[in-house]
Chain A
Amino acid sequence: MDMLFPQIVAGLSNGSILLLAALGLSLTFGQMGVINNAHGEFMMAGAYTAYVMSTLIGNKTVALIVALVVGFAVSGLLGLLLDVALLERMRMRPLDTLLVTFGVSLVLQQLARDIFGATPVYASAPEALTNPVTVFGYSFSAGRLFIFILSIVCVAALYAVLKLTPLGRQIRATSENRDLAEVSGISTRTVDHVTFFLGSGIAGIAGVALSLLNSISFNFGTTFIVQAFLVVVAGGVGQLKGAVIASFVLGLCQSAIELPTSASIGQVAVFLIVVVFLQFRPQGLVSIRSRNLA
């Protein structure tokens, strides 16, 4: 019983990592049906930004804050470039984008290797985030707490943008009914670009945050990408709520299963849970009601 509380915390922490990794993916998949295989490499770009900032700026706390902003911009612009240069011309065949973006991910990984070398690097974190914090007599990682809070902040910010701003209304309109949005005078082309920028930018933030826990190398993103996809699929298309619930449920499941078994069984179990779950809800946890044929 002693371990119950720390394990729940571990599960929530894993869930928040999944959420950060999957949030941007969920946004672009929901709106354009684009499964962005290079999402992991956008996270990698964010992580390398964190590394560069930590070498340029002496104060580690300032470096982290700057990295969050710059990482958002760098990955967002990469995403925008990808969308303008390639994905835009492929709106009619969304499935093919999966393979195009896989190619992009190969190229970005090799670029990172040529620029930063094959040796992993290490973004030194603010001292406060590497030490434990003690809650109810248990020690937890302050870095993980930070990531948890950051993921909640990101969700809240995204929610606010979608619900409260004109841009958000346009995004929602486009993702619900593209043609109707277009005839209502919304430039869906611009909205798509902006959405892609936002979604990729969030990947950059995720990369900066996760560099607190890992070393940074060219294959930084590949660790997270398959599970992030699963969150999107299990959560349902383009629904923030679905992605949030799916992330935390999967995170908790993995921690719970890993405890009596082993790490590899935990990972396999998460995959199987999603496959079985889709038996019952093939369109994911939360789906938009529509009159389209399933």
Chain B
Amino acid sequence: MASKKTVSGGASASAAGEFYAKYKPWIGTAIAVVLILLAPSVMSVYNLGLLSKYLCYAMVAVGIGLAWGQGGMLTLGQGLFFGLGAYVMAIHMKLSDIGPGQVPDFMAQYGITEVPGFWELFRNPVIAVIGVAAVPGAIAALLGLAVFGRGVRGAYFAILSQALVAAFSVLLIGQSKTTGGTNGLNDFKGFFGYDLTDDANKQMIFYICAFLTLAMVLVVWWIRRSFMGDLIIGVRDQENRMKFLGYNPASIKVFAFSLAAMFAGIGGAMFVPVVGIISPSDIGVTPSILMLAGVVIGGRTTLLGPVVGTLLVRFAETQLSEAYPSAWTYIEGLIFILVIAFVPMGLGQFKGLWPWIKDRLGIGSAGSVAAAAASASVASAGDGGGDVKAAASASAAVTA
């Protein structure tokens, strides 16, 4: 709800249109910042908490947009990285709650008297903060080097990522003496020393979530404009051609995949103070695929689509699943079926409509026509597999 504004900043005069075209990202960012700052004054603490939760999923979605939309890596296992970040944060929060020399209550129940080593590592707040991004990032990089280096891709990669998240949740449950098992970790008192029950602190946590999401969108925006962005798209559409041009597709993929994993890890880390619990059921096979729902709706190749889509889907879930639990499952299923089969670019598919309408009404400008052309090519670029036109334009960009 907060950081999706760029689309709607309408301009009516052509001078304003030019100004808008030139400074669009800055206007968008500024509007997003203002909206984020205003949100707490118009929303109850309860709704703010829900929005913070949606934002945690939006962070994951931004990463999926990069890895899947741009990089073509369909990852069904973002729950793995979400979970790693979340558990690192949860371990830190648990340890700082109980103080040195004590063990968490569930360990005491299992008769464990000393905190295990991988817990002790994250007692230090600095290491914990670095860890929420570094641990998922490093694991993704290792995994990426292993599978991309050997040319595993497409459906094979998707299945492997799914298998890994399944293995991870089985492992978490199996090692319940040190991970809390199916109960997961919960009952936290403080977030870096701040009382989690205090409304002012909840508001700060919302700000952190919102600004982190915004920062991630800006990072992806920057990557998309940079040479790296062209490389990522090139690898998606014509991996072999990229190889012949002298690039190493594996390392480009590893970069995008690890960054996506870090975003997911950070999202997971914020999920813990927001929701107050992390357990294997938040990160299994199905939750991991559902993390894609927002990206599918919003448009996988667009910059803001994943965020907007995720906020929409999660909001709808809260609204509908209470009143109509059974109907909501149908809706979830139909989102995947209808959108992917018939509107594969999601809301992004309609992006070309706005400039078209503007042209028809005679309020357009040169800039918007260019934008229309650009968005049309974005829309066609995403058709997975072998879209020759997009591939050609991408590799042209590379050789230039």
Contact = CB atoms under 8 A, between A and B. Distances in A.
Given A230-B163, A264-B174, A89 B152 contact: no
Interface string B150-174: 1110111011101110110011011
Contacts of B167: 267-268, 271-272
Contacts of B292: 99
B296 interface: yes
A33 B155 contact: yes
Contact of B240 (A93, A94, A278, A293): A293
B6 to A, nearest CB: 27
Range for the number of chain B residues in contact with chain A: 35 or more
A109 interface: yes
B215 interface: no
A267 B170 contact: yes
A103 B340 contact: yes
A265 B172 CA distance: 11
Question: Most chain-A CB neighbours within 10 Å: which of B154, B167, B330?
Answer: B167
Interface string A96-117: 1011101111110110011000
B382 to A, nearest CB: 9
A173 to B, nearest CB: 22
Interface stretch (B85-93, B99-107, B331-339): B331-339
Interface residues of A, number: 44
A229 B166 CA distance: 12
Contact of B337 (A33, A104, A293): A104
Nearest to A292: B240
Interface in A62-110: 86, 89-90, 92-96, 98-100, 102-107, 109-110
A99 B150 CA distance: 25
A265 B163 CA distance: 14
A218 to B, nearest CB: 10
A275 B164 contact: yes
Interface string B315-347: 000000000001001101111111011001000
B141 to A, nearest CB: 15
B56 interface: no
A229 B159 contact: yes
Contacts of B171: 264, 268
Interface in B346-400: 383-386
B340 A99 contact: yes
Given A92-B385, A94-B385, A275-B164, A35 B332 contact: no
Given A233-B156, A282-B150, A293-B240, 9 more contacts: A93-B385, A99-B336, A100-B340, A222-B285, A226-B163, A233-B160, A267-B170, A271-B166, A278-B152
Interface of B: 72, 74, 76, 146-147, 150-152, 154-156, 158-160, 162-164, 166-167, 170-171, 173-174, 240, 285-286, 289, 292, 296, 326, 329-330, 332-338, 340-341, 344, 383-386
6 contacts: A95-B158, A98-B158, A103-B333, A103-B336, A226-B166, A282-B152
Interface of A: 29, 33, 35, 86, 89-90, 92-96, 98-100, 102-107, 109-110, 113-114, 222, 226, 229-230, 232-233, 262, 264-265, 267-268, 271-272, 274-275, 278-279, 282, 293-294
